[in-house]
């Protein structure tokens, strides 16, 4: 693409050249619905009843100030807005730690079958045997894949699963009288939800240092463990947030268990392992899965998440309810209460539509297909690493797992940062990778191509990244600070947007 592409500038358009919103090259600028010119065109054909009387006994609702516009205007407004959301169906989305992979349309088709889509959560169990069987099969399959046989499908997201999982651990300690166990260990590179979950459950977090190595070492673990008396557990993701497999995990898990702590594995990165190894075999006691990452159900703007937890059989008694069980007659039933259960985490039975999609994905792949998908995800990431390692600094030696970590160390010397590179990718029509995460790595770029991205697209990404590096090397860097050039908005004040978000529309403020 020509790097001199002008910014699309709507501001020079005259009033009246556009009836609805400024537009150019079929690229529409979209106002807020409130900002549409108020016309006398009625949106609805009802006349105001002549003898209207408020009979609720409450104050009358104030005028909302919504514009009176015709239906096509409303429809266009929302359809245009819907096209402004970039997603995995628009293009490459190499967001590390998020596993933005293709969601096969077969999953969607199954989720829309009337027998799944139209069931009511309060229906008598004998009328929803198929739905319960599906949940039972998913529980069983996830138990097989993780090597952690007891599964709850209740949690509604990854972070929600973490909360459920840590509550299981807390409950186990409480019932064992371990009141002195008040500390949870987390590596410094952990996803923010890990320490946040531990603190939400009332624990104090003690950090395991991984800065020099990118991996957990027995030595650093021992230091954080101390005598281990106060340690309730450890929260670790494997592969970790640097995209590396934790090679000393077995020894670390053994030491943790000896100290009476539980091993919580953040399973959001399970896409790198499925079908190849089972976390239960490397010492994990509790793990959540992100169905909306590993098992290809939509996420982000695309739909609700689902974060089932898998635990050892010893911990099964503490899982949330309800839980689907098989009766001796071969039918399915809901276990709504259990003595030591931590209770309910979620209304009804979790995100059932996600359960349908995930099981469809699992069954349509089969054991060999799931294994292959993981291996291809790891291959893709290593391919990118191999192609870019001469152009970008690689902080930790590979091979990597499903994501590869680079930094801007070389480019920074020429004044080009990770942010500039990310904005450059936007200009070239590619969603940026995860930037500045993990926090322990300066100028981090965490790239996760996934197994579903076609090689041509991955090659295009590599070509653009290589071009950026070469441009920087020869000092052709000015353009980087202006990227992106052709988006309706250029560089936003991201700090202000995060710190002072405007969450409420006020017409008065707009006029100021």
Q: Which residues bind ligand PLP (CB under 6 A)?
A: 97-98, 157-159, 191, 193, 237, 266, 268-269, 290, 305, 307
Closer CB to ligand PLP, 450 or 471, in the complex: 450
- Whether the CB-CB separation of 271 and 99 falls below 8 Å is answered with yes
- Minimum CB separation of residue 45 from ligand PLP in Å reads 44
Supply the DSSP string of 35-92, one letter for each residue: GSPP-S--SS-PPPPTT----SSSPPPPP-------HHHHHHHHHHHHTTS--TTTS-
Closer CB to ligand PLP, 83 or 85, in the complex: 85
- Minimum CB separation of residue 155 from ligand PLP in Å reads 9
Closer CB to ligand PLP, 285 or 420, in the complex: 285
Where would I find the beta strands (DSSP E) of 355-439? 404-407, 434-435
Pairing of strands 183-187, 204-208: parallel
Closer CB to ligand PLP, 157 or 252, in the complex: 157
Centroid of chain to Cα 477: 33
Which position has the token pair 């192609």? 387
Tokens of 70: 């015709």
Radius of gyration, CA atoms only, the chain? 26
Q: Could you give the count of Cα atoms lying within 13 Å of 403 in the half-sphere of its Cβ?
A: 31
Closer CB to ligand PLP, 97 or 107, in the complex: 97
**Number of C-beta neighbours around residue 485 at 10 A:** 19
- Minimum CB separation of residue 300 from ligand PLP in Å reads 9
Q: Can the peptide bond before residue 293 be classed as cis, meaning omega within 30 degrees of 0?
A: no
- Minimum CB separation of residue 193 from ligand PLP in Å reads 4
Centroid of chain to Cα 99: 7
Q: Distances from the Cα of 488 to the Cαs of 9, 262, 282, 450, in angstroms?
A: 8, 50, 49, 29
Closer CB to ligand PLP, 145 or 469, in the complex: 145
The CA distance from 274 to 284, in Å, is 15
Supply the DSSP string of 178-246, one letter for each residue: -TT--EEEEETT--THHHHHHHHTTPEEEEEP-TTTSS--HHHHHHHHTT-TTEEEEEEESS-TTS---
- Whether the CB-CB separation of 370 and 275 falls below 8 Å is answered with yes
Closer CB to ligand PLP, 303 or 429, in the complex: 303
Which residue, judged by CB position, is nearest to ligand PLP in the bound state?
A: 158
- Whether the CB-CB separation of 427 and 442 falls below 8 Å is answered with no
Closer CB to ligand PLP, 287 or 406, in the complex: 287
DSSP H or E segment with residue 355:
helix 352-388
- Minimum CB separation of residue 162 from ligand PLP in Å reads 7
Closer CB to ligand PLP, 403 or 408, in the complex: 403
Q: Distances from the Cα of 451 to the Cαs of 94, 263, 347, in angstroms?
A: 11, 28, 34
- Minimum CB separation of residue 194 from ligand PLP in Å reads 7
- Whether the CB-CB separation of 152 and 232 falls below 8 Å is answered with no
Pairing of strands 434-435, 444-447: antiparallel
Q: Given phi > 0 = left and psi -120 to 50 = alpha, else beta, which region is 460?
A: alpha
- Whether the CB-CB separation of 77 and 33 falls below 8 Å is answered with yes
Closer CB to ligand PLP, 66 or 199, in the complex: 199
Closer CB to ligand PLP, 269 or 312, in the complex: 269
- Minimum CB separation of residue 386 from ligand PLP in Å reads 24
- Minimum CB separation of residue 378 from ligand PLP in Å reads 16
Closer CB to ligand PLP, 239 or 261, in the complex: 239
- Whether the CB-CB separation of 141 and 135 falls below 8 Å is answered with no
- Minimum CB separation of residue 271 from ligand PLP in Å reads 10
- Minimum CB separation of residue 446 from ligand PLP in Å reads 10
- Minimum CB separation of residue 261 from ligand PLP in Å reads 20
Beta bridge partners of 289: 267
Tokens of 427: 């200009």
- Minimum CB separation of residue 269 from ligand PLP in Å reads 6
């Amino acid at each position: 693409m020509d790097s001199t592409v002008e910014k699309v500038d709507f501001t020079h358009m005259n009033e009246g050249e556009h009836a609805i919103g400024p537009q150019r090259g079929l690229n529409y600028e979209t106002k807020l619905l409130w900002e549409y010119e108020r016309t006398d065109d009625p949106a609805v054909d009802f006349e105001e009843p002549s003898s209207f009387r408020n009979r609720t006994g409450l104050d009358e609702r104030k005028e909302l100030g919504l514009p009176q516009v015709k239906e096509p205007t409303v429809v266009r407004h929302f359809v245009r807005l819907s096209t402004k959301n970039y997603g995995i169906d628009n293009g490459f989305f190499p967001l590390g730690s998020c596993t933005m992979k293709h969601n096969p349309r077969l999953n969607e088709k199954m989720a829309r079958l009337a027998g799944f889509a139209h069931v009511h959560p309060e229906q008598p169990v004998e009328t929803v045997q198929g739905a319960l069987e599906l949940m039972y099969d998913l529980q069983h399959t996830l138990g097989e894949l993780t090597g952690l046989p007891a599964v709850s499908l209740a949690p509604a997201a990854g972070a929600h699963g973490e909360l459920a999982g840590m509550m299981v651990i807390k409950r186990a300690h409480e019932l064992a009288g371990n009141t002195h166990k008040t500390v949870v260990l987390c590596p410094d590179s952990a996803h923010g939800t890990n320490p946040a979950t531990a603190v939400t459950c009332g624990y104090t977090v003690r950090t395991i240092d991984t800065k020099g190595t990118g991996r957990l070492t027995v030595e650093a673990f021992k230091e954080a463990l101390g005598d281990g008396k106060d340690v309730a557990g450890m929260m670790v993701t494997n592969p970790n947030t640097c995209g590396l497999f934790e090679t000393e995990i077995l020894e670390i898990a053994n030491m943790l268990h000896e100290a009476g702590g539980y091993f919580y594995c953040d399973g959001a990165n399970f896409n790198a392992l499925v079908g190849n190894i089972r976390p239960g075999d490397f010492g994990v006691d509790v793990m959540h899965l992100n169905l909306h990452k590993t098992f290809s159900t939509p996420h982000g703007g695309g739909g609700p998440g689902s974060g089932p937890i898998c635990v050892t059989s010893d911990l099964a008694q503490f899982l949330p309810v309800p839980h689907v069980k098989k009766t001796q007659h071969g039918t399915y039933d809901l276990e709504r209460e259990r003595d030591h259960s931590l209770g309910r985490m979620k209304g009804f039975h979790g995100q059932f539509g996600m359960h349908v999609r995930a099981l469809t994905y699992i069954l349509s792949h089969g054991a060999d297909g799931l294994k292959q998908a993981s291996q291809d995800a790891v291959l893709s990431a290593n391919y990118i690493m191999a192609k870019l390692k001469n152009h970008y600094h690689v902080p930790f030696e590979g091979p990597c797992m499903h994501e590869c970590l680079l930094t801007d160390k070389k480019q920074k010397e020429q004044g080009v940062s990770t942010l500039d590179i990310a904005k450059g990718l936007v200009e070239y029509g590619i969603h940026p990778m995860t930037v500045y995460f993990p926090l322990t790595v300066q100028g981090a770029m965490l790239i996760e191509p996934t197994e579903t991205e076609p090689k041509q697209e991955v090659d295009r990404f590599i070509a653009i990244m290589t071009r950026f590096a070469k441009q920087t090397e020869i000092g052709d860097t000015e353009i980087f600070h202006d990227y992106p050039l052709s988006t309706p908005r250029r560089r936003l004040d991201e700090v202000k947007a995060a710190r002072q978000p405007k969450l409420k529309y006020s017409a008065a403020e707009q006029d100021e």
